[in-house]
Structure 1
Amino acid sequence: MWKFLIQLDTNYKVMVSKTPTKKTSSSAKKSAAKPAKKTTVNNNPPSNSKLRWCVVTAFKLALVMLLAIVIYVIYLDGKVRNTFEGQRWQIPVQVFGQIETITSGMPLNLQHLRKSLDYAGYRKVAQVKRAGEYALSNQRIIIYRNSFDFGYGMEPAVELTINVNSGVVERVFQAQFEVESVQLEPVFIDRILPESKEDRVLVALETVPEQLIDSLLLVEDRDFYFHHGVSPLGIIRALITNISAGRTVQGGSTLTQQLVKNMFLTREKTLTRKINEAFMALILEYRYSKDQLLEAYLNEVYLGQHYANGIYGFGLAAQFYFGQPIQSLTPAQMALLIGQVKGPSYYDPWRFPERAKKRRDLILRLMFEQNYLTKNAFVDAVESDLSIRHSRRLVKQKYPAYMQKVKSELAQILDPQSQQTGIRVFTGFSLFSQLSAEQTVREQLAALEKSHQENNLQAAMVITDIETAEVRAIVGGRESGYAGFNRALHAQRPIGSLIKPAVFLAALERYEQYNFATILKDEKIVLTSDSGKEWQPKNYDGKYRGQVNLIDALVQSLNIPTVNLGMSLGLESVANAVHLLGYQQDIVTRPSLLLGAINMSPWQVNQLYLPLVGQGQYLQAHVINQVISAKGETLYAFEQIKEQRLSDNGAFLIDHALQQVTKTGTARSLTWRLKDKQLGGKTGTSNEQRDSWFVGYDQQHLVTTWLGHDDNQTTALTGSSGALVLFANFMKKQGVVDLVPTAPSSIVWQKFEKISGHAVEENCQDTIELPTVNWNIKLQPCQQKAEEPKSWFEKLFSD
């Protein structure tokens, strides 16, 4: 370009310098010596030369100006592309709960499901017609599930029908076709805000209701799909429409211009900004499709203010104003949101409800006139109230204890920058379990404080699915919504008798040496350390029984027999068993370890018991199952590696003993608290009753419960009178799935003589039948034979 201008200027100079001249004659030379006559000389260039100079100069200036515009447009193009094709926003992490699959033949409580649907923003109606609605009867629920991306592409909204008979799913239908199973939309838990603290809910264009899109374009830019970014005709038409209506009904700027203003420019009203706006709008229209621009607009437009934070995008606005996902909005709610585009402050429905309603009704009328609404729907919408949330405050950290664990695991999966790209996190969270646990803690702590003259008791609970090790709920304290100290994750407390199953497991795995009938001493014992310090353990009741068999020592949680067993096994063997169950920290091997002188959090205890109640398989407890990118790509999927750490025999025997704990042992109050239910569990109490523990389970859930004081003061509660009470109350709400133990083929039921612990014939006196490994069972003679049964004649004449 510059070479062209230089060449043009050079040519012009050459052209002027080559003006024709006449040759000088000899006579002229002579006459030149004579005095010249006085004449008038014209120094101005010819008129055609002046015009030519103006044209060339103007052409130069135009080229320079054109070049400057081209360079500026290239600059703007780079700016637009860097923003639009890069990370447009720092988008919060969206965290969802469990993706529940309903399958024929599975147990299902319709009332539990109803609570989850209500929380998720679904509306109960008499007849289901649109997404976000459900209808419920005694034996059937019909759900019009919202469109949702479960991690393998957007699933359209669809009607689901679930028939239930006697608490069991009988038949399942999807879009009127019978299927084996259906997936329910997971509960939205919370958003993790980025460093900018800018809250936003990213929505894909295909998930936005068509009625909302059509109405938005009708009001804001009806020629959106026909113009190229700037619409002069649209400006003229909007002006005429607004004058006719006597108020501002339509805007003159295109949606593309509005997008530019929101995404790239400030709100100052200057000519420079308007020029930039027009240029950038043209660039966007050239570079990207209409659908891409519309989707960006739906996520960028400013629609309100939540105290210090702006509300950007229709996705977040739907939750902010109505507490519902965008797919569940009614026509009236859509119209109210569209009305906010014009002026969120002026039409704020909390501060100026009359203004907001007038604006909404005006938009509803436009929708009706364009046949987007039927007459009946229009009348119903206009007559409806604003239906906004009672308070403009968005409640955050509803489940802070669970979210703390989500954040902790997410930090190990993705770096902070990757967490701001609109990812979605799917967890094992169960809303019903979480609400039941929180209600249990809230109610039972108050009742226990009143009955035992206690104050300021605290509690923690961890609820885990035994089959998958997905953590369903976490309670970190009595104030469930308080994002403070999370006792479930961080309170390190002595676990007391919860350690005993690990001690007895180490023995039962040596099946040739130990079984349930093995005799253990229950006599006074004094242990002396290398430094000469004495330790004298005692049973909780202070009594000595002389001797007990192994299963009774565990079921009754007797301390002295446990210490004797642990010392005979060796402290290293016990420590190895604890590590085998999943405890990863170092263990100080001293005799007090055998009675639980080791600190763990409820989360660690929960992990410790998973193999004990899960048929000996080690599973890693976790909250995050899957992480999906904004584009629908799977960034992370949890892979559970099942590792058989206990023998089948050892796992079954420990499970059997823990079931006996709830029937005849320290947790026998469960026989009337949860009557006729098949459960397992173990109580735990630390020294001076500073900590009350209970770990209980049914066929489906493992529940770890702790209760005590933050300042480590003593309580009036043991494991059975404190934490067990919380467990029982929770299971009443949750519902018990009875244990159905399956014994390995190598397990048989054998009679043992109590006094000797030997496997004996059936004619011995005072025997007990116990499960045992059938390898190398050696029957021995009785120490006390059973008396021969008396005849009826002897009974008649005996004293």
Structure 2
Amino acid sequence: MSILLGWPFHLVNLFTLPFPQPWRFLLRLAGYPGVIALMVLIVLGVIYGWRSQSFDLRRIHAMPERTIIYDRLGEEIGRIHGEKRSIVPLKDVSESFRKAILAREDERFYQHGAFDVIGIGRAITKNLQGKREGASTITQQLASDIFQLKRGDKGVFLRQLDRKFLEIAIAIRIEAANDKDQILEAYINQIDWGRQIKGVGEASRIYFEKHPAELTLSESALLAGIVRGPGSYNPFTSIEASERERNTTLARMVDAKVITQAEADAAKQEPIEIRPVWRRHYKESFAMDIIRRDLEIILEAEDIELGGCEIITTIDKRIQEVAEEALEKKLESVEKLSGYQHPTREAWLKIPEMERREPGYIQGATVVMENRTGGVLAVVGGRNANESRFNRATSAFRQMGSIFKPFVYLAGFDKGIKPSTPVSDGPLRPGEIKGGGTWRPRNSDGKFSGEHPASYGLIRSRNTMSVRVGDFAGVDYVAKVAEKVGFDTPMPKNPSSFLGSWEATPWEVASAYTLFPNAGKRFRPYIVSQIKDRDGNILFSTLPIAIPTAEPTSAIGVSRILEEVASSGTAASVKRLGFDKPCGAKTGTTNDFKDAWFAGFTSTLTCAVWVGFDTPKTTIQRGFGSTLALPVWVDVMKTADRLGYRAGKLNDNSGRVVTMEICQLSGKRATAGCREAGTTRTDVVTPDIALPENDY
């Protein structure tokens, strides 16, 4: 002890006192290297202890794990953020695995501190004998892995030495702040098992399709063996190498007396059975794109990065898949039409990947919403999310064409027009339309006729009649209605807007159309229903938000007309293609066939479909909404009805409206002659504006 405390004086005496006897000199000289070594260790301890303080130990237990996304039925549809990991408490891991990992990585884990002097001595001895053995404890490995201390030190001795000292210093801090079980739990959830698999939870699931609590002795030993070389010893890379490491682990367990030789022999006889590599594949979808966007708004950045959440969405995976398939099927058939003159997706896929640009082939979008909640069941923003990240469902603002006309009639009904009110289908006269100047739009068939009930103008999508209805309501009021129904872009206040010359997204169109089956109210669309943290606590929950949007009688009146559009008007192909349930719908086609639209609803769902090019151009000659978009809608809604989203009777009157049979030619109450001529129709109006019973 005196040598340790008085080493400076001894050092001075050594060189200042008379030369000592040889044996005393040698004795003193032998003691000084030990003293110097001790002082070096003290200095190193201070330096590395100080450096270790810059590492945040909270990261030990804050390991990023995947956030799992579920559809409304509990079906997993994706994983985002974090790492490929699922945190598992130590108590939920099989005893055989705990024994295996300790026997293989740190047999004396519960007997030593941050580093193991005996283990270091044993490793030095083995290495001198030409055998390879590491000396890092589990705590040291945890420190190195969490803080990525090995990065950049490969093959450089001084860097390796520096890293080792820092590793020990951090390990000492970890041991001081955590008990052994906490450290072991962090370790088994942190370590790498190859193929970007982090933690025993994911390793058990991916390799054996089971929970860590269910691991057998053989499986436990195999996983413990993989840790020694995740890239080389995992069974996906080499069954033989993983079997060899498993058997080595079993031998270590016998040596450590945690299992018997008989148990080890039995485990060695078990064949290595692993699940097929990467059985679960997640198809990238535009729905996931919206979910990611919403999470950035809902959650703090730190919560997103750490992951470990469960996200319950309104998506129905079955309908999402059908919507994707229906759109692709239709657009593939368009590209195969004789005389089709645009680039095709098939040709684009043949271009070498490094030479591909943003795809120029025909695109489309589909949005499906639940009427009574606003929940989004499916959203398709293009033909393939991997080929183009642009989400056309939410971000492509395209001219609406006739798809906007129902809202013009909604405004007209608010202002006093009835479905039976006579409106001229004749040519527009210069100056007739306020603010229109010499603008004189024609009907799509180039024909004009006399007066018809207002409802006829929507059923047959007559431009001249629709403009006159909009003019009656007033451009300012139509713009106000457009804003109320959910179109974010202000409607330009000119008469051409009555015919949908302005732009909206498929998402907006679908949301706006939900007011018709909802008797004038719509629900704010949403896709994230609930978020739970890793402990099951609810972090966020969405309640449907109803937005009163239109007068119920006006909305029901337009809805009934749209039912006739689907049964005998421009959308009559709905029935011909096999959807015979109650529905209302409207087609839309813009100038030169650049955009094709179809929007429609049943009592439960509303769906909007758009087809066109990212850079507007003619799709095909006579590329109407009824030709390009309607078939996609039918495929989606037929499947939805079959899956339980039943299409029932639309708009229960509940005493708010009455029906009356009128003559389409006179706009008056129908007579027997009208019925005989087949010119009758049923109007839905409020009792106060119903025509008198004898008004023929």
Which category of TM-score, normalised to the shorter sequence, fits these structures? 0.7 to 0.9
TM-score, normalization by structure 2: 0.77
Is the CA contact 2:247–2:268 (under 8 Å) kept in the aligned structure 1? no
Is the CA contact 1:499–1:596 (under 8 Å) kept in the aligned structure 2? yes
CA apart distance, 1:474:
2.2
Counterpart of 2:306 in structure 1 is 421
Counterpart of 2:179 in structure 1 is 289
Deviations 1:681-720, CA, capped at 9 Å, x for gaps: 2211111221111112333332211112333222232111
Counterpart of 2:321 in structure 1 is 435
CA apart distance, 1:83:
1.9
1:470 maps onto 2:356 in alignment: no
| Structure 1 residue runs without a partner (length 5+) | 11-41, 101-183, 194-198, 784-799
Question: Of 184, 187, 201, which residue of structure 1 is paired with 2:76?
Answer: 187
1:84 maps onto 2:37 in alignment: no
Distance 1:668 1:227, change over 3 A: farther
Distance 1:669 1:46, change over 3 A: closer
Counterpart of 2:444 in structure 1 is 540
CA apart distance, 1:73:
7.2
Q: Take 1:482 and 1:66, find their aligned partners in 2: how far apart are those partners? A: 59
1:576 maps onto 2:465 in alignment: no
Greater relative CO, 1 or 2 (CA 8 Å, sep 6+): 2
Deviating more after overlay: 701-710 vs 403-412:
403-412
User: SS at the partner of 1:190?
Assistant: strand
Question: Of 238, 255, 259, which residue of structure 1 is paired with 2:138?
Answer: 255
1:614 maps onto 2:589 in alignment: no
CA apart distance, 1:88:
7.2
Is the CA contact 1:202–1:315 (under 8 Å) kept in the aligned structure 2? yes
TM-score, normalization by structure 1: 0.68
Counterpart of 1:159 in structure 2 is none
CA apart distance, 1:187:
0.9
Distance 1:710 1:222, change over 3 A: same
Matches within 5 A, 1:109-258: 184=74, 186-192=75-81, 199-205=83-89, 209-210=93-94, 212-213=97-98, 215-221=100-106, 224=109, 227-231=112-116, 253-258=136-141
Counterpart of 1:594 in structure 2 is 498
Question: Aligned residues: percent identity?
Answer: 25
Is the CA contact 1:357–1:386 (under 8 Å) kept in the aligned structure 2? no
CA apart distance, 1:502:
0.6
User: SS at the partner of 1:285?
Assistant: helix
Question: Of 458, 469, 472, which residue of structure 2 is paired with 1:554?
Answer: 458
1:773 maps onto 2:693 in alignment: no
Deviations 1:71-112, CA, capped at 9 Å, x for gaps: 457536634xx5222587784762513243xxxxxxxxxxxx
User: SS at the partner of 2:377?
Assistant: strand
The alignment yields a C-alpha RMSD, in angstroms, of 4.7
User: SS at the partner of 1:682?
Assistant: strand
**Amino acid paired to 1:450:** K
Counterpart of 1:730 in structure 2 is 636
Q: Take 1:66 and 1:216, find their aligned partners in 2: how far apart are those partners? A: 32
Deviations 1:365-410, CA, capped at 9 Å, x for gaps: 98999789x999978993355434279xx977x3242233233333
User: SS at the partner of 1:462?
Assistant: strand
**Amino acid paired to 2:332:** A
Counterpart of 1:114 in structure 2 is none
Is the CA contact 1:615–1:652 (under 8 Å) kept in the aligned structure 2? yes
User: SS at the partner of 1:383?
Assistant: coil
User: SS at the partner of 1:467?
Assistant: coil
CA apart distance, 1:590:
1.2
User: SS at the partner of 1:585?
Assistant: coil
**Amino acid paired to 1:606:** A
Matches within 5 A, 1:359-758: 359-360=245-246, 382-389=270-277, 398-414=283-299, 416=301, 419-422=304-307, 424=309, 426=311, 427-451=313-337, 453-454=339-340, 455=342, 456=344, 457-510=362-415, 513-528=416-431, 534-629=438-533, 634-714=538-618, 715-716=620-621, 717-736=623-642, 737-741=646-650, 742-758=652-668
Q: Take 1:756 and 1:661, find their aligned partners in 2: how far apart are those partners? A: 20
Q: Take 2:604 and 2:90, find their aligned partners in 1: how far apart are those partners? A: 38
Distance 1:262 1:780, change over 3 A: closer
Deviations 1:647-669, CA, capped at 9 Å, x for gaps: 33233333322222221221112
Is the CA contact 1:364–1:382 (under 8 Å) kept in the aligned structure 2? no
Greater helix fraction, Structure 1 or Structure 2: 2
Counterpart of 2:358 in structure 1 is none
Distance 1:219 1:686, change over 3 A: same
Q: Take 1:72 and 1:492, find their aligned partners in 2: how far apart are those partners? A: 61
User: SS at the partner of 1:303?
Assistant: coil
Is the CA contact 1:705–1:726 (under 8 Å) kept in the aligned structure 2? yes
Distance 1:693 1:272, change over 3 A: closer
Q: Take 1:662 and 1:710, find their aligned partners in 2: how far apart are those partners? A: 28
Deviating more after overlay: 706-715 vs 324-333:
324-333
CA apart distance, 1:416:
4.6
Is the CA contact 2:71–2:77 (under 8 Å) kept in the aligned structure 1? no
Q: Take 2:35 and 2:71, find their aligned partners in 1: how far apart are those partners? A: 69
Is the CA contact 2:430–2:440 (under 8 Å) kept in the aligned structure 1? yes
**Amino acid paired to 1:401:** F
Counterpart of 1:162 in structure 2 is none
**Amino acid paired to 1:340:** I
Deviations 1:421-460, CA, capped at 9 Å, x for gaps: 3263623333222221221122221223334643443211
Is the CA contact 2:138–2:187 (under 8 Å) kept in the aligned structure 1? yes
CA apart distance, 1:44:
6.8
Distance 1:66 1:506, change over 3 A: same
Is the CA contact 2:99–2:258 (under 8 Å) kept in the aligned structure 1? no
**Amino acid paired to 1:773:** T
User: SS at the partner of 1:751?
Assistant: strand
CA apart distance, 1:333:
6.5
**Amino acid paired to 1:262:** D
User: SS at the partner of 1:302?
Assistant: coil
Distance 1:361 1:662, change over 3 A: farther
**Amino acid paired to 2:170:** M
Is the CA contact 1:476–1:486 (under 8 Å) kept in the aligned structure 2? yes
Is the CA contact 2:434–2:471 (under 8 Å) kept in the aligned structure 1? no
Q: Take 1:738 and 1:570, find their aligned partners in 2: how far apart are those partners? A: 35
Q: Take 2:93 and 2:17, find their aligned partners in 1: how far apart are those partners? A: 78
Q: Take 2:669 and 2:263, find their aligned partners in 1: how far apart are those partners? A: 86
Q: Take 1:381 and 1:451, find their aligned partners in 2: how far apart are those partners? A: 61
Distance 1:207 1:750, change over 3 A: farther
User: SS at the partner of 1:695?
Assistant: strand
Q: Take 1:261 and 1:603, find their aligned partners in 2: how far apart are those partners? A: 48
CA apart distance, 1:746:
1.6
Q: Take 1:676 and 1:386, find their aligned partners in 2: how far apart are those partners? A: 49
Is the CA contact 1:553–1:561 (under 8 Å) kept in the aligned structure 2? yes
CA apart distance, 1:345:
2.7
Distance 1:318 1:497, change over 3 A: farther
Is the CA contact 1:436–1:734 (under 8 Å) kept in the aligned structure 2? no
